[in-house]
Amino acid sequence: MSLQNFEILNKIGEGAYSVVHKVRRKSDGEIYALKKVKFGSLSEKEKENSVNEIRILASISHPNIIGYKEAFIDPTSNSLCLIMELAENGDLLEKINLMKKRNSIFPEPEIWDILIQTVRGLKALHDLKILHRDLKCANVYLFSNGNVKLGDMNVSKVARLGLVYTQTGTPYYASPEVWKDKPYDSKSDIWSLGCVLYEVATLNPPFQANDMKGLYRKVIAGDYPPLPSVYSEDLSRLISFLLRVEPRKRPGCDELLQMPLLSKHCNMSEPLASENSLLNTIKIPKQLGALANSLPASNYSVQKISSRFPEPFRVKQPRMLSEPYMGKRNHNHEEEKSQGPVRVLERRNPNPAYGPAIIYSSPYKHETIAQSIQSLKAQYDKLQPSIPPVRPYYNRPNIKPSWWG
């Protein structure tokens, strides 16, 4: 794969060594995000971070983590290219700035929804012993269907021994242990999550000061203003749990998901997610072209699974439902029609009086569904001779209701 397979539509963002474009894949017309990293101008550590982001994204398939599609080398620009899902609604920081301009605030149900999806994304990372290390509003991405996903993992770290010693991240979201240059673990991400939720509620970070020294004092003291009174006491309490100065007193992702506070305000039904395993470390060769052989395979074939589908569409087994169409006798139907997440596979006419029967199915696991349809056909063919035609009551001769006179 190369850049020739994509049409660049517009630039989304730009950093010191990378630029992100909105692109269209020519083979299928789908829209993606393309991140181009100027590999030649990076230090060795920065090169490792860029390749590490590809490794982590390719290792995880989860509804609340930005989806990896492909990575390749562009020899003409000496760049490392990463193709990812595109967040149509931008990031959370952009929405916060929009709220400020409108002099508005987030509805509390939306804050709880952002919370539960962000926690699930963090849990997917922490289950693989991966620390995000730069969780902030600009790295929380919003989709048009309501999904919330974590991304930008170029400084994420695999903590095989549980603790990490390298200090990194954004100062406004950094935990007290990071500020103190102490070893830290996944609870540091939990602190950053608390900062994100506080900023969503107040449109400002919890800890602000005129200089870094003043910011340091506020963070290590856990000193932040209370939430606006428009929000519930439950939300204030939860944020206070996340922003506890002592790491051991903060809840982990599993503890958060079991809290009554969350079940009270959030939809706790789990989205469909696959098992994940961390890919091997990608070694950086001296020649950039040789790196292409070590990059993960493309992943365009993975179906997009929405965590916002109703519960019946998140079960593992295919859903089969046969129901009659109670319409006109000779109603003219299309051969096949998509109805949201449900696809009409076939219509039959077992009884002319009631019109065609409709077989619905989930769009997943087509082989199993096809077998089920064949089984239904066989059962119907056996029963068909024994089903007499039924005429509507008012068309039957010599039969009148008692009130007819």
User: What residue numbers does the annotated binding site cover?
Assistant: 35
Length of the chain: 405
DSSP character at residue 319: P
Active site residues: 134
CA angle 263, 265, 95 (to 5 degrees): 130
- The label of the residue with tokens 């998140």 reads 314
E-strand spans in 15-52?
18-25, 31-38
CA angle 275, 280, 281 (to 5 degrees): 135
For residue 342, give the H/E element and its range: strand 342-351
First-last CA distance in the chain: 81
Kindly state the tokens that stand for 160.
């095989």
Kindly state the tokens that stand for 70.
């492909």
- In terms of Cβ atoms closer than 10 Å to its own Cβ (0-12, 13-18, 19+), residue 394 is exposed
DSSP character at residue 53: H
Query: In DSSP terms, which residues pair with 360 in a beta bridge?
Result: 321, 344
Query: In DSSP terms, which residues pair with 324 in a beta bridge?
Result: 357
Which residues are documented as binding site for ATP? 35
d(CA 147, CA 117): 8
- The label of the residue with tokens 């910011």 reads 215
d(CA 353, CA 391): 6
Query: In DSSP terms, which residues pair with 11 in a beta bridge?
Result: 21
DSSP character at residue 187: H
Does residue 267 sit in helix, strand or coil? coil
